[in-house]
Every structure is written in structure tokens, then in C-alpha cells.
Copies of this chain bind each other. A is one copy, B any other.
Amino acid sequence: MTTANPRRSTHPHVAVVGATGAVGVEFLQVLEQRNFPLSSIRLLASPRSAGKTMKFRGQDLTVEALTDKSFDGIDIALFSAGGSISKQYGPLAVAAGAIVVDNSSAFRMTAEVPLVVPEVNPEHIGNIGLKPGQKAGIIANPNCSTILMVTAMTALHRAAGIKRLVISTYQAASGAGAQAMEELRQQTQDVLDGKEAKPVIFKQQYAFNLFSHNAPIMGNGYNEEEMKMVKETHKIWGQDSLPEAARTQITATCIRVPIMRAHAESVNATFEKPMTEEAAKALLAKAPGVSIIDDREANRFPMPLDAQHQDDIYVGRIRRDISQPEGKGIDLFLCGDQIRKGAALNAVQIAELLLAK
């Protein structure tokens, strides 16, 4: 590691935008747990949250209102405050010399913005970096469902080429924020008490119910969450410049289930080259960021409660897809913490990549 610009490269000044949200809170925990070598941290949020205090490394930090001047002296800004905040303040942060790691969807599909899962495509960061000669810029954090899936499936894709994916998700409340988690808790208590559930964040009752993901439906009948999985995966796997037919063909059905904070996905993959069950297991066992829970005798496979508050994506039910010729298809089931690897952890890992460059 060079020390040409020691302040920026070894102990950056960090800002967290959206510090009081579910992902913001997790940013602080992940930075602390991973002992991220920062010089200072600035907590930014809406004026409504300004003045609140949050603990970081034993100290009480005061949340500041986000303004145009918030990024003076900041090296890395971790954004998780929604797309419109990112669109407005992301470029300002970059203009102030910061590298933005953005958890919103605002810039994910922008051609010059890398969309990065550190275990998968760290090289996409390119010339963005903290050292002299490297540039400031925006790096986008993919959608949670995409992160979970590509973290697990990339090893298989690289080995045998995934031609087609059929995905069904089981998504937790946390993807819609801390209030959605509280809504699930409150509604569940109300239903158990024989009262009526009162939907606020979601239009339908969430307690003891499930429904198609609340993202808007697009012209093709897919919702935005599903199309993120399609398009973001193509970009992360470097397929966005390929002709349509040469990309991995992906269909997804995204469903919200009454779970607090870890998503699950049922994934069916069709391969270009032969992929056996044994090979898939061996590849997944070595894949970074992946843990296998696959005990057929004990009927023990990944569950949201396994993944909750954990870094890894848990994969199980790994088996030959019997609906396709031997070696052609694999079915599996995965779980991952939506707030952690699906958001905060992945962004902090990107910041760690910047330090290591």
C-alpha cells in the first residue's frame, strides 16, 4: 500500500447519509465491527432527525442535517436515503472530492457508474479511488435481491455459464425500511389480539399474509424489483454490452413475506456447459461470502433466521434440476440479511476495496 496521500488512503473521513434509517444504523455497526480505519465520521440525515445522537465506538455522535456543505473534507460518503436524495446530493459530494457509495437505485444503471459486489466484480471500480491520480465518483450498491443472488451464483456462472435463471423471492420487511418492520410487528400483535390490521406502508395486511412486491409494475408486467434483478445482474456480470440473446436470460417473481430482515430466494439455473450437483456444491463451498447449510438427513437448510445479522449468503437445497437433462440445471435456495449484505455490508466492503487499492 502506497502512502502517497496518507490522509485519504489509509484513514478516510467518512460521511453516512441517511444515518438514522435501518441501513444507516447498520452502516455504523458494520464499520465498527469491521474496525474500518476511519479518521472521522459525519452522520447526516433529514432536518427532522438532526440533533439526535447515535453511538459509534462508544461515543455519542450528533446527527446533522444534510446540506450542500455536508461533504467538505469527506473522502467516502455512504448514501442510503432514497433515490432522490442520492440524485441531489451524490453529485455534490463528488464535486467536493468524495467517493460516493450509493445504496439507492438512482445511478445503478448509469453507464459510467460501476455497480459492484466486491466478491464478484471489484475490478469494475476502475480508476475511482482515494489515491492521487485516482478520481472521485459514484459507485452504486446493487439492489438487495440482486446482491444475494449474484454472490451465490457467480461461482457457478463462471464455471459453466448460466444461460437462464428462474427466481422466486421471499422478501423481508426490512427492504421497505424500519417502519415496515414496525408495521409487521404491530399488525401481527393486532391480529393476535383479534383486532384489525392497519396497513400504512403497504396497502395490504402484512401480518400472516404475503403479497407481490410493492414496487410499481412496468409495461411488461414485471415489477421494478424484478427488473432490477434482471438488469443489474447483466451489468454486474459484464453482459450489458452483449446482444440481448447472449446474456443470461432471467425471470424473477418478487414476493414480500412476513419476515423481519433476511430475504430468501428460490433459484433455478440452466447452464451452458455441464454442471453437476457435486460440482455446484464444491464451487459454492469455496465461493467467497457464501456458506452452505445443506443437511438432507436432518432436513436442515437455510432460513432467514440463520442469515439474520450475518455477513454470508447461506445456500442449500443444492440439487440437480430433474426437469432438465443431467448436468443442465441446478436448483438451490438461499438466504441473506437484506440490511447487511443486501445493503450496508456490501457498501462498506466497497469502501474497503477503495482502501486496499
Contact = CB atoms under 8 A, between A and B. Distances in A.
B192 A322 contact: no
A317 B253 contact: yes
Contact of A221 (B210, B221, B266, B296): B296
A220 B296 CA distance: 10
B251 A323 contact: yes
Contacts of A170: 170, 210, 255, 257
Copies in the complex: 2
A260 B221 contact: no
A324 interface: yes
From A184, A304, A318, residue with most partner B Cβ within 10 Å: A304
Interface in A280-312: 296-301, 303-305
A237 interface: no
Interface in A252-271: 253, 255, 257-260, 264, 266, 268
A31 interface: no
B209 A305 contact: yes
B211 A301 contact: yes
A321 interface: yes
Contact of A333 (B184, B212, B304, B323): B212
A303 B221 contact: no
Contact of A255 (B216, B251, B266, B329): B266
A210 B266 contact: no
A352 interface: no
A329 B321 CA distance: 18
Contacts of A356: none
Interface residues of A, number: 60
A324 B188 CA distance: 39
A75 to B, nearest CB: 39
A91 to B, nearest CB: 31
A317 B225 CA distance: 14
A316 B266 CA distance: 19
Given A203-B299, A250-B323, A251-B322, A317 B212 contact: yes
Interface stretch (A94-102, A116-124, A160-168): A160-168
Contact of A303 (B168, B204, B319): B204
A322 B210 contact: no
Contact of A208 (B259, B297, B316, B317): B259
B257 A322 contact: no
A206 to B, nearest CB: 10
A166 B305 CA distance: 26
A240 interface: no
A198 interface: no
A64 interface: no
B212 A316 contact: yes
B188 A221 contact: no
A253 B221 contact: no
10 contacts: A168-B253, A170-B257, A185-B192, A189-B192, A208-B260, A209-B304, A212-B317, A230-B322, A257-B258, A266-B266
Interface of A: 164-166, 168, 170, 184-185, 188-189, 192, 203-205, 208-212, 214, 216-217, 220-223, 230, 249-251, 253, 255, 257-260, 264, 266, 268, 277, 296-301, 303-305, 316-324, 329, 331, 333
**Top 8 A-B pairs, shortest CB-CB distance:** A221-B319, A168-B168, A249-B323, A168-B266, A251-B323, A217-B296, A212-B301, A253-B266
